[in-house]
């Protein structure tokens, strides 16, 4: 069996190496002066002047004074939102943009700014509607297309991400190419991902840790683990702070049977992240596979403490207990394993073996059949699944 089982799946996130720079569109809203006071007009003019000079604190103060006098000004709320966004106060920015749109829902540029602010907050579901609304009026906006495509990617809508980003591929933006590659990888369309990443590796952008990370994912998906390991080592060399890189290296080395190297990397990961379920579990599973059961059990018990809903750790414990002759503990653990992860064919197989030894032949026959059915559909993608998690740290 593989020493690394399926781990919790998390969304792929753009890393530090993939910086997205979005310009906040200048709002074409000018203060309209029906029967407002000279004082209000002066406040707006001063705020706008400070905004244009990039003096955000003063612009913020004068816009707030203006809005106290003219609270129904869409221009005031929108421009204050832009000021907040430049100060990276995105929650305040979204409140102002929403206020502007309640007053005047026809302000197209404000929808884009609202989508950008929500994106910067990591609120991808909230960013999607205003971006779609903006694109309905300006379908050729590359900025909005890219943002919406990235939102789809973050929301695991990979087909939608590809549909939005594929037309932008020819422009060669690193962000778009990496996002497209990630979407193809999630859909197991490895050949298409490999083409994009191969081109990137031969380009001046080839020194990007993100490129090598995704290339490693692609190789892992193709079950080419030696090349996957090579790419992950390059990631580590380019960015030693890459989240959980030692965990990923250790898992890949374990799959290749390089247990000594794997153990060293996993122990280094544990030093860096002493409360990591994944690190405890993966090292415990490795030692279990290597027959070092007494060393494996405490690690797996710690993993169980950190994540009591993991069927994988229960299965590994059941296997270790079974091998050490702790049959009562093995029976309890394997029951928990199949309850928590009913699609784990190996857990059903072990359940069947233990049930047969306990004399429950009907249960054993049933569990053997379940295990055989699951085994027929099993996909060996452990390292790929693990690598999908590591970028989220």
Domains of the chain: 38-155 (1.25.40.10)
Under a CB-based contact definition with an 8 Å cutoff, are residues 166 and 151 in contact?
no
Place of tokens 């102002």: 96
- pLDDT beyond 60 at 18: no
Q: Which helix (H) or strand (E) holds 95?
A: helix 90-103
CA–CA distance, 228 with 385 (Å, rounded to integer): 13
Q: What is the mean pLDDT of residues 316-345?
A: 95
CA–CA distance, 20 with 119 (Å, rounded to integer): 11
Share of the chain above pLDDT 70, in %: 85
325: left (phi over 0), alpha (psi -120 to 50) or beta: left
Q: What is the mean pLDDT of residues 240-264?
A: 93
3-state helix, strand, coil in the chain (%, to 5): 70, 0, 30
Spatial CB neighbours of 222, under 8 Å, sequence gap ≥ 6: 190, 194
Q: What is the mean pLDDT of residues 325-338?
A: 96
pLDDT, residue 388, reads 53
Q: Of 155, 152, 156, nearest to 165 (Cα)?
A: 152
Which of 12-21, 184-193, 247-256, 358-367 has the weakest average pLDDT?
A: 12-21
CA–CA distance, 269 with 241 (Å, rounded to integer): 11
213: exposed, middle or buried (Cβ count in 10 Å: 0-12, 13-18, 19+):
buried
Q: Is the dihedral of CA 52, 55, 60, 66 positive or negative?
A: negative
CB count within 10 Å of CB 381 equals 15
Spatial CB neighbours of 35, under 8 Å, sequence gap ≥ 6: none
Q: What is the mean pLDDT of residues 351-376?
A: 91
Per-residue confidence at 380, pLDDT binned at 50, 70, 90?
Answer: very low
Query: How far, CA to CA in Å, does 379 sit from each of 39, 222, 256, 337?
Result: 70, 11, 17, 19
Q: What is the mean pLDDT of residues 193-201?
A: 83
Q: What is the mean pLDDT of residues 7-23?
A: 32
246: exposed, middle or buried (Cβ count in 10 Å: 0-12, 13-18, 19+):
buried
Q: What is the mean pLDDT of residues 56-75?
A: 93
pLDDT tens-digit series, residues 254-272: 999 999 999 999 999 999 9
| SS3 readout for 200-234 | HHCCHHHHCHHHHHHHHHHHHHCCCHHHHHHHHHH
pLDDT, residue 30, reads 42
Under a CB-based contact definition with an 8 Å cutoff, are residues 232 and 252 in contact?
yes
pLDDT tens-digit series, residues 66-115: 999 999 999 999 999 999 999 999 999 999 999 999 999 999 999 999 99
Per-residue confidence at 37, pLDDT binned at 50, 70, 90?
Answer: low
Q: Of 103, 111, 57, nearest to 80 (Cα)?
A: 57
Q: Of 61, 70, 84, nearest to 34 (Cα)?
A: 70
- pLDDT beyond 80 at 393: no
């Amino acid at each position: 069996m593989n020493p690394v089982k399926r781990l919790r799946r998390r969304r792929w996130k753009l890393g530090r190496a993939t910086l997205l720079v979005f310009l906040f569109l200048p709002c074409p809203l000018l203060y309209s002066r029906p029967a407002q006071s000279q004082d209000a007009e002066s406040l707006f003019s001063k705020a706008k002047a400070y905004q244009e000079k990039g003096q955000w604190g003063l612009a913020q103060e004068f816009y707030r004074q203006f809005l106290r006098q003219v609270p129904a000004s869409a221009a005031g709320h929108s421009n204050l939102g832009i000021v907040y966004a430049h100060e990276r106060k995105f929650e305040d920015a979204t409140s102002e943009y929403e206020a502007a749109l309640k007053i005047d829902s026809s302000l197209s540029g404000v929808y884009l700014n609202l989508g950008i602010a929500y994106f910067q907050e990591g609120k991808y579901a909230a960013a999607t509607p205003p971006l779609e609304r903006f694109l309905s009026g300006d379908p050729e906006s590359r900025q909005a297309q890219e943002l919406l495509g990235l939102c789809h990617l973050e929301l695991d809508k990979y087909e939608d991400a590809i549909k939005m980003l594929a037309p932008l591929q020819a422009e060669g933006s690193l962000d778009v190419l990496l996002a497209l590659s990630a979407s193809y990888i999630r859909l197991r369309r490895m050949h298409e991902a490999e083409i994009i990443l191969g081109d990137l590796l031969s380009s001046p952008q080839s020194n990007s840790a993100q490129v090598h990370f995704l290339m490693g994912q692609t190789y892992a998906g193709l079950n080419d683990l030696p090349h996957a390991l090579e790419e992950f080592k390059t990631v580590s060399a380019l960015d030693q702070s890459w989240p959980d890189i030692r965990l990923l290296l250790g898992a890949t080395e374990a799959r290749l049977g390089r247990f000594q190297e794997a153990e060293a990397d996993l122990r280094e990961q544990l030093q860096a992240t002493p409360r990591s379920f994944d690190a405890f579990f993966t090292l415990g599973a490795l030692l279990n596979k290597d027959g070092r059961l007494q060393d494996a059990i405490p690690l797996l018990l710690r993993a169980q403490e950190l994540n009591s809903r993991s069927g994988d750790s229960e299965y590994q414990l059941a296997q270790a207990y079974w091998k050490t002759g702790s049959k009562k503990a093995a029976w309890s653990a394997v029951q928990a394993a199949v309850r928590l992860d009913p699609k784990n064919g190996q857990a059903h197989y072990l359940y069947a073996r233990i049930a047969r030894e306990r004399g429950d032949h009907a249960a054993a026959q049933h569990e053997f059949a379940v295990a055989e059915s699951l085994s027929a559909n099993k996909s060996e993608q452990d390292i790929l699944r693990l690598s999908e998690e590591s970028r989220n740290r």
